[in-house]
Chain A
């Protein structure tokens, strides 16, 4: 009898914890949606400026999140274009060339890089900026370029790992066929292995984009500001969506500003959800064709 009770209690506990988790996430996100739904309109993005004028950069937007979105977009574009070549190349090296001790030690370093708190990466970016300011040129201060570099360092380990895993998980058949036909190692990598593992690599890249878009800790130390308008150059300050949400939450002046914060939170959440879904869809394609043994 006591055994039956324990049995029942454990099962009930498992269901309850599932319920608790679902309820807390649904509660938190639902609140943001319900409160913020009213603020979703064109004026959330463009304020009083006409949308066309803003989109063509003819007039500045003051009361909208458009500059923050452009800032985030520029930032993500820059850091991804820095991180992807290095990360994917490192992933290929780790999967195809590195052996024994080198592979072990390099792997350890990338695990550490993946585990470093993002604020430290931001702090590193800040220190580099100040160092350059003193040593090289007065014009260098925390700015868009430094942020993009720091964010690139932040997502580098994800890119390395997804590339490496995608390559290493390829079936053995795929790996041995091309050399058997006389292909050189490089030809095998670029004509067979990379195309075959493309969906894994691409979904890793998309997840990294999501991480760049949502990160706040790195950019708050490396040049993001509350009001800067559109970024004018690589060495200028800029606005970004996550930092905008953070500033609103800590120092909103009135109800309108707070509502804009809710709107921005919904927009950021929607962007991240979209990227996440995209990455999942692409990766499912990969696992399917792994399952059925290649094309």
Chain B
């Protein structure tokens, strides 16, 4: 009986440690960033530009960079992902859709740094030729590459929720003489909209949180980007670039603000997806 107790306590301790890590990451950022918050410079930072020579350390350009790269990537990726998912689970015929499914699953295993490496030597020169000015490292290039990176997240989630639509519904639609496309629009998508939203939010989280693609492709300029063909820096890349052993400078302290923003965004998105997914789809259908 005592070993029972002991093992249970040990397992509980491990769980508590895992929770503690999550809390600690946030706690560390808040505590180390505290001088900033009490100093009153915290909210000013979100609106001011980054001008180290004038001792103005605002992160507004990085926030714009993050939002535009992630938003654009999602805008590129969503239609293609929806098409791929529809092909895999509803519209496709023959062996090719299954192969595509396998490829998409494999894509989750491709290292981000390899994407970035290929992007620098394939995509960036192409964009440079096409734009005709600058280095080719811009929001547009980064968003294109990021779209490829986040596509598997969406496709896998979409096709999973497409294929969890009850078979009886599909059979009923078939019996009514529905074509595959009609089935997709009138049965499958209405039944799995929760899965669609969750997939999009998860992909947004990946796009916002990705460091390497933006760091390698987006050009990392600290100026406020004026168009999608301008270089930009994301919050994540900013953290990677500014980290220096100089622990007390104001420049360094801004990183905690970046970190807190990213952490809070992640938490909100997680809570949102859990809320959307909380009403289990199966229960929803049973009551319908």
Residues of A within 8 A of B (CB): 6-7, 10-11, 13-18, 20-22, 24-25, 27-29, 31-32, 35, 85-87, 89-90, 92-94, 96-98, 106, 108-113, 115-124, 126-128, 130-131, 134, 141, 153, 156-157, 160, 184-186, 207, 210, 213-214, 216-217, 220-221, 242, 245-246, 248-250, 261-262, 265, 268-269, 272-273, 275-276, 280
Contact = CB atoms under 8 A, between A and B. Distances in A.
A86 B12 CA distance: 10
Given A85-B14, A115-B270, A117-B209, A249 B111 contact: no
B113 A14 contact: no
B131 to A, nearest CB: 19
B114 A269 contact: yes
Interface stretch (B16-24, B42-50, B51-59, B280-288): B16-24
B7 A186 contact: yes
| Majority-rule SS of A interface residues | helix
Contacts of A269: 110-111, 114
Interface string B69-103: 00000000001111110111001100011001001
Contacts of B103: 21-22, 25
Contact of A90 (B11, B32, B243, B266): B11
A98 B211 contact: no
A21 B256 CA distance: 37
A10 B22 contact: no
Contacts of B82: 17
B113 A216 contact: yes
A37 B242 CA distance: 35
A93 B209 contact: no
Given A116-B209, A273-B106, A108 B271 contact: yes
A86 B14 contact: yes
Given A18-B87, A22-B100, A28-B115, A246 B212 contact: yes
B22 A110 contact: yes
Interface of B: 3-4, 7-8, 10-12, 14-15, 17-19, 21-25, 28-29, 32, 79-84, 86-88, 91-92, 96-97, 100, 103-123, 148, 151, 155, 179-182, 184, 205, 208-212, 216, 236, 239-240, 243, 245, 247, 255, 259, 262-263, 266-267, 269-271, 273-274
Instruction: Give the 8 A-B residue pairs with the shortest CB-CB distance, closest first.
Output: A17-B83, A117-B209, A214-B111, A89-B14, A276-B109, A28-B118, A93-B11, A217-B211
B23 A14 contact: no
Nearest to A157: B18
Nearest to A156: B18
Contacts of B97: 18
B148 to A, nearest CB: 5
Nearest to A220: B240
A120 B179 CA distance: 48
Contacts of B104: 21
A124 B83 contact: no
A97 B12 contact: yes
Contacts of B84: 14, 17-18, 21
Contacts of A10: 86, 91, 181, 184
Contact of B243 (A87, A108, A123, A185): A123
A269 B273 CA distance: 32
A83 B92 CA distance: 41
B266 A117 contact: yes
Contact of A214 (B23, B29, B113, B269): B113
Contacts of B245: 130, 141
Nearest to A16: B83
A18 B96 contact: yes
A207 B243 CA distance: 29
Contacts of B184: 10
Contacts of A121: 25
